[in-house]
Amino acid sequence: MAYADPMSRVPFFMFQDREHGEDHEASKEKGYQVPKLVTFILITPHGHKGDPMEFFADEFIERKAGDARKGVYDPAWVAEFKAGLTAHRDGKEIPRHGTPLVTWERILKTRREQLARRFPTVEDLAAVPDSSLGDIGMDGRVLRDMARGDIKAKTDLSPVVKELAEANETIRRQTAQLESLTARMDAMDAEREQEAPRRGRPRKETADA
């Protein structure tokens, strides 16, 4: 998915399970103190500098869902947080929409791998504001603007790509229909040829006197 405005895309986030506090029920059952395993969400808001911000995942998502209902937070982001938490607890990789930065061949492979640790997709890189360009490096502005340019180009071409895809699908369906019709006509011709001898009258044979 290409974003015309990279800042409109959900900020980078991930989940981690850590021991935090005591699991009182487990401690009571086992007879000794058992640490409680809690899921944290680590999120890097647009424009944020430094390490990701950490929150208790369930509480954070519930709070943001309330903000979304009030119209002060993007509900699409909340939906992605929920989907990500479900995927994390199912042992799956968090779904991340966009172009993986490690496949972005506009820059060297070593640089891609280095940047991908913090910016998993080209869209994440494009969303970096001017105030955080230093987090990318000396080439921060060049890379950020290059990423934005690629996204804009994809957005501008998307209607054309869609139109071509629809045209190709129409041609595919028409070709399939023509092949089916041709096969039916061939089958009908073959059937007529088989029936033709049976429809004619048998010739009488006369013996010489």
CB-based contact 132:35 (threshold 8 Å): no
Q: Quick check: 97 pLDDT over 80? A: no
Q: Residue 59: which pLDDT band, with cuts at 50, 70 and 90?
A: very high
**What 3 state SS string does 179-202 have?**
HHHHHHHHHHHHHHHHHHHHHCCC
Q: Return the higher-pLDDT residue of 45 and 201.
A: 45
pTM tops 0.85: no
Long-range Cβ pairs for the range 84-92 (8 Å, 24+) = 84/13, 84/14, 84/15, 85/15, 85/39, 85/41, 85/57, 85/58, 85/61, 88/15, 88/39, 89/39
| SS3 track for the chain | CCCCCHHHCCCEEEEEEEEEEECHHHHHHHCCCCEEEEEEEEEECCCCCCCCEEEEHHHHHHHHHHHHHCCCCCHHHHHHHHHHHHHHHCCCCCCCCCCEHHHCCCCCHHHHHHHHCCCCEHHHHHCCCHHHHHHCCCCHHHHHHHHHHHHHHHHHHHHHHHHHHHHHHHHHHHHHHHHHHHHHHHHHHHHHHHHHHHHCCCCCCCCCC
Cβ atoms within 10 A of the Cβ of 50, count?
8
What band does 13 get if pLDDT is binned at 50, 70 and 90? Answer: confident
Of the candidate ranges 59-73, 130-144, 163-177, 181-195, the one whose mean pLDDT is the lowest: 163-177
User: What pLDDT is stored for residue 126 in this prediction?
Assistant: 82
What does the pLDDT look like over 120-168, one tens digit per residue? Answer: 788 888 877 787 788 788 888 999 899 888 878 876 544 555 566 666 7
Average pLDDT over residues 81-102: 79
Distance of CA 160 to the CA centre of its chain: 20
- Residue 62: the pLDDT is 95
Whether 129 and 46 have beta carbons less than 8 Å apart is answered as yes
Share of the chain above pLDDT 90, in %: 14
**2 versus 54: which is more confidently predicted?**
54
